[in-house]
A and B are shown apart, each in its own frame.
Chain A
Amino acid sequence: MSATTQAVATPLLSVTPASIDQVDWADKHYLVVDDFVGVRQLLRESLRSLGAKNIDQASSGGEAMALLARIRYDVVLCDYNLGDGKNGQQVLEEARVRNLVNPSTVWLMVSAEKSVESVMGAAEHQPDAYLIKPITEGVLLTRLNRVWHKKQVFRMIDQACAEKDYLRAARLCDDQIAVDKVHELELLRMKARLMEKSGQPTRAREVYERVLEQREYQWARAGLAKIRLANGEFEQARQAFQGVIAENRYYIEAYDQLALSYQNMGKFEEAGAILERAAKLSPNSVMRQRSLGNLALKLGNMPMAEKAFRKCIAIGEYSIMKTPDAYLGLARVYGQKNDPKEALRLLLVAQREFAHDHPDIQLRTKITEGLVYHESGDYRRARKAGDDLEAMLKATLERPDVPTCLELATLLFAVGVKEAAIELLRYVIRNNHDNPLLLDEVQQIFDKARMPEEGMAMIRASKKEAADLMNQGVLLWKTGKLGEAVAWMRDARKAVPNNQRILFNAAQIMVSCLQQQGYDAVLAAEAYEILHHVDHLLPGQQRFAQLMEQLAQLQPAADGGGTGAGAGVPAVA
């Protein structure tokens, strides 16, 4: 090991990181956000001494958003604490969600002291680095260079991720890990996540274990625990998450996962208590407050539900993450408190606030309205809501997500609108015929409605229908009738648009068609569309990752050409 001795007599701006290729920071466009004018001036002076000429300033989150909407910045220096209105994290989230910053934009979050959020990855959108005041020029330059360098290392990997070609991204990680000691751990962390996203928990586990051989990193421990949770080993997962929290009380994500472990074991009280603790430590997460509210509602703990939903609405006010769920949940709370008037008022607010971004808001508020009336004993109005819902379902082929469907069917049975309920459950089964847990849930809904036999018969028939639909397509494919197989699957997809098994097989048959009959951009686009749709329904599936990789390799422009082999056989039900 060579020790370099270097005497810095009067160390002027000699903070030159020797090994890093120099970045020209003078040319960049900067945005400085701080509510304190003195700090803004200071940061501007520091940037000027790096040669910067283009420096814009904002004194609030709102001002920052207005500038971000107009101008693409290379570097954003944003204080976390911005007084009233949006905080720095909310500015970052909105900028990312609304695509107002480039992937190459360097985002540095500034704060007076170390915050929980800065450490535990509590938020989904992380800045590139956190800086603690006071900020000196040298520290600023060091961190800017470091982030820039890291972005170079991750550029191709991020690109592959954006294209959802997770397996290519993982290979790029491997290549880089071999040569890059500095970023080794971050690359390993990324690789583990990619393995999770491509449905390969065993390989993710290997990566986490490799990290833990080096050092006791809690994110790797939490990663192992998450794999156990996904495997259904709830008790082991619980112990592991508790171990993480014992080591680091501020590892917020572990609380969320621990609560999930408890929920899976049916221990809702414990889950609620954990989420409550997490919400105390890191109260400004819309998502966590929503989970807490929903869980409290389930537990019948109305004061806790009300508090969580109110907090959720309050933080949502300035956040792009705001959700109608908080309004719907709070309306339920008022229903339970026998105040349907206030509940309806909240539903109206939700309709107004979310009309734009949530096309299903009408349906969802109507469901909640029905529940509120039903729970407060107003059966006449509850039935009326049921009739309205039936009409809404008839008017469109669109169906909400599965949990909403089940909630809706339960309500429809309860208020006596049976036909629509059965029809809706038929849709659920046909689109999820190979999900035994869900079939059980549907059966339970029928049992509760005192229609166990009808339910069983319906489930059996719908299941068979979907399976036949799929098997016929696979049969055509196996007997070499590729064109017919593609056409058949296309029709099957129309009949059951959200059946993951059928969607995967449709994509698989299209891929094999492309492999055997040559590349066809239109067919490839159709396969991509199908795959993105499945990924939307349930992210993190192995077949998704594999098919995405095969499709990308078929692309003629891509170097290296296709693989030829490796086209899997569509699975039969």
Chain B
Amino acid sequence: MDDTPNAHELFLFLASTAHDMKNSISVLSGTLERLLVDASPKTESAYPQMAHMLYQTKRLNDNLMQLLALYKQVGKPEYPFDVQPLELGQLVDQVVSIERVLLQSRGIQLELDCDRQLIWHFDEDLVVGVLSHAINNAIHYTCDRVRLAIREDGGWLELRVEDNGPGYPPALLRAGEIATRETAGGVNFLTNSAGLGLYFSSEVAKMHRHRGQHGTLRLENGGKYGGGCFILRLP
């Protein structure tokens, strides 16, 4: 990054603008969630539209969060990466609470499968962000079910977000392959909006290192329900 005073001024300006946008989105999604909790499809004719608004607001928030993080260069030492030990129960509770209203408003069931007491070391904010982004995505592709399964597997923590939809389209699987490739150079592979989320998630995976190994991200079709599977593995 440039160290000239101008670049610094610009950075401060961008940071404060981003701060403002975050506030607006907070209020927007918070208000929508509250309205949806108080309403039901029977009492409120605009219920489906409100649910869709919430979905879009979440996407907006995810994208902004990811852009901000990438602007700070996630994966480079510039991002204040913060690994702490955490019980998986705490991780899952937060992801569930973030997705609760959206899932409910779309009539989608979330299935959890994890050992709540298991402790792992990771950057909580980043992993919560990746998982809730993956669930938002799954909500888009699924039929009526999303499954969050976390387990230890040979010294790795495997976090899976699966759905019972028709599976990811080939283009997205390809984008996933490119985004998660070892040597993804630059951001020029971003041919669709899913690219940002994938790129961000795979950067988050790579930041988690332990004893010479780093996390990975994989997209595939299959899993318990034969739909899309988003698989994050952390060492």
Contacts and interface: CB of A to CB of B under 8 A. Distances in A.
Contact of A215 (B96, B103, B121): B121
B97 A138 contact: yes
B117 A45 contact: no
B157 interface: no
B89 A19 contact: yes
B81 A38 contact: no
B116 A4 contact: yes
Contact of B30 (A9, A45, A114, A146): A45
Given A45-B34, A134-B30, A181-B119, A11 B104 contact: yes
A2 interface: yes
| Consensus secondary structure, chain A interface | loop
Nearest to A6: B112
B1 to A, nearest CB: 11
Interface in B42-86: 61, 65, 68-69, 72, 77-85
Interface of B: 15-16, 18-19, 22-27, 29-31, 33-34, 61, 65, 68-69, 72, 77-85, 87, 89-90, 93-94, 96-98, 100, 103-104, 109-119, 121, 125, 128, 151-152, 209-210
B100 A120 contact: no
A216 B210 contact: yes
Contact of A81 (B19, B82, B210): B19
A114 B125 contact: yes
A138 B94 contact: yes
A217 B114 contact: no
9 contacts: A6-B111, A11-B103, A45-B30, A81-B19, A112-B18, A134-B29, A146-B90, A182-B119, A247-B77
Contacts of B125: 114, 132
B98 A2 contact: no
Nearest to A245: B77
A548 B212 CA distance: 45
Contacts of B68: 113
A14 B113 CA distance: 16
Contacts of A39: 23, 26-27
A139 interface: yes
Interface in A298-340: none
Nearest to A252: B80
Interface in A4-20: 4-12, 14-15, 17-19
B27 A8 contact: no
Given A12-B100, A42-B30, A134-B29, A7 B80 contact: no
A137 interface: yes
Contacts of B27: 38-39, 41-42
A283 B117 CA distance: 40
Given A8-B96, A9-B109, A11-B96, A118 B82 contact: yes
Contacts of B109: 7-10
Interface residues of A, number: 55
B23 A38 contact: yes
A133 B115 contact: no
B150 to A, nearest CB: 9
A239 interface: no
A115 interface: yes
A14 B31 CA distance: 20
Contact of B89 (A17, A114, A141, A249): A17
Given A17-B90, A112-B22, A139-B98, A119 B152 contact: no
Contacts of A45: 30, 34
B110 A15 contact: no
A557 interface: no
A247 B114 CA distance: 32
A182 B18 contact: no
A306 B97 CA distance: 50
B40 to A, nearest CB: 11
Contacts of B15: 113
A8 B110 contact: yes
A379 interface: no
A200 B175 CA distance: 55
Contacts of B19: 81, 112-113
Given A3-B151, A9-B109, A184-B85, A19 B26 contact: no
A4 B117 CA distance: 10
A425 to B, nearest CB: 46
Interface in A112-133: 112-116, 118-120, 132-133
Given A42-B30, A184-B85, A113 B121 contact: no
A15 to B, nearest CB: 5
A114 B25 CA distance: 17
Contacts of A42: 26-27, 30-31
Given A3-B151, A17-B89, A8 B97 contact: no
Contacts of B79: 114
Contacts of B81: 119, 248, 250
A119 B110 contact: no
Given A133-B26, A141-B97, A119 B210 contact: no
B112 A134 contact: no
Contacts of B83: 215, 217
Given A39-B23, A119-B81, A139-B98, A134 B115 contact: no
Given A2-B115, A19-B116, A119-B82, A10 B210 contact: no
